[in-house]
Amino acid sequence: MPHSLRLLVPALLLLAVYGTATSASAASPPATATSAAALAARVPDTTTETLPGGFVALLPEPYAAPRPAVDRRYGWHFSRAAYLYAPGRASVSGVPAASLSLSIVLHHEPQDLDRARLTIRLLARLLRLHRERFGRDTTFPRDADTVDVWLATETPPQAREAGGECRDNQVYLFATGAQRTPIEWVRTITHEWGHLTLPAAEGYSAPEADASGYLGERLYIRWLREDRAHFSFQDGVTTDGVNLYWERQIAPLMDRFAISGPTAPLLGGKDADAMDLYIGGVLSADAAFGSEIMGRALRTIEGVRPQDFFVALRHVVDTETWAPLPVRLPAWVPLEKGRYVVNGSVPLRVGASTWRYLTSPSQATLKRIAPQPEAQVR
The string of pLDDT tens digits covering residues 134-150 is 999 999 998 999 999 99
Nearest to 193 by CA among 125, 279, 245: 125
**CB proximity list for 126: less than 8 A, separation 6 or greater:** 138, 189, 190, 193, 220
DSSP line for 288-314 = HH-HHHHHHHHHT-SSSSHHHHHHHHH
Predicted pLDDT of residue 158:
80
* pLDDT of 23 above 80: no
Nearest to 324 by CA among 338, 343, 310, 309: 343
DSSP assignment letter at 333: E
- Percent of the chain at pLDDT > 70 equals 88
Predicted pLDDT of residue 7:
38
Do 70 and 134 contact (CB within 8 A), yes or no? no
Mean pLDDT, rounded, for 219-231: 91
* pLDDT of 271 above 50: yes
**CB proximity list for 274: less than 8 A, separation 6 or greater:** 204, 266, 267, 268, 306
* pLDDT of 240 above 70: yes
> What rounded mean pLDDT belongs to the chain?
88
pLDDT by residue (tens digit) across 193-210?
999 999 999 999 999 999
Predicted pLDDT of residue 27:
67
* pLDDT of 319 above 50: yes
Spell 225-234 as b/e; 16+ CB within 10 A means b.
Answer: bebeebeeee
Can you tell me the distance from the alpha carbon of 237 to that of 108, in angstroms, rounded to the nearest whole number? 20
Helix, strand and coil percent figures for the chain, each rounded to 5: 45, 20, 35
pLDDT by residue (tens digit) across 70-105?
999 999 999 999 999 999 854 444 544 559 999 999
Size (the chain), residues: 378
3-state secondary structure of 197: helix
* pLDDT of 20 above 50: no
In the chain, what are the domains?
1-179 (3.30.2010.30), 193-320 (no CATH), 321-378 (no CATH)
* pLDDT of 300 above 50: yes
**CB proximity list for 91: less than 8 A, separation 6 or greater:** 97
Mean pLDDT, rounded, for 165-187: 95
Question: CB neighbours (10 Å) of residue 72?
Answer: 10
Mean pLDDT, rounded, for 117-142: 96
- Band of pLDDT at residue 63, cut at 50, 70 and 90: confident
Query: Does residue 110 have a cis peptide bond before it, meaning omega lies within 30 degrees of 0?
Result: no
Question: CB neighbours (10 Å) of residue 185?
Answer: 21
Predicted pLDDT of residue 121:
96
pTM (two decimals): 0.89
**DSSP alpha helix (H) spans, 172-305:** 182-197, 212-226, 239-245, 251-260, 272-289, 291-299
Q: Nearest 5 degrees, angle CA 107-CA 108-CA 110?
A: 145
* pLDDT of 372 above 70: no
Beta strands in the chain (DSSP E): 32-33, 46-51, 55-60, 69-70, 77-78, 80-87, 100-108, 147-151, 164-167, 170-173, 325-328, 331-335, 338-342, 346-350, 354-358, 363-369
- Band of pLDDT at residue 377, cut at 50, 70 and 90: very low
Predicted pLDDT of residue 98:
58
Kind of pairing between the strands at 46-51 and 69-70:
unpaired
How deeply is 182 buried, as exposed, middle or buried, from its count of CB atoms within 10 A (0-12, 13-18, 19+)?
middle
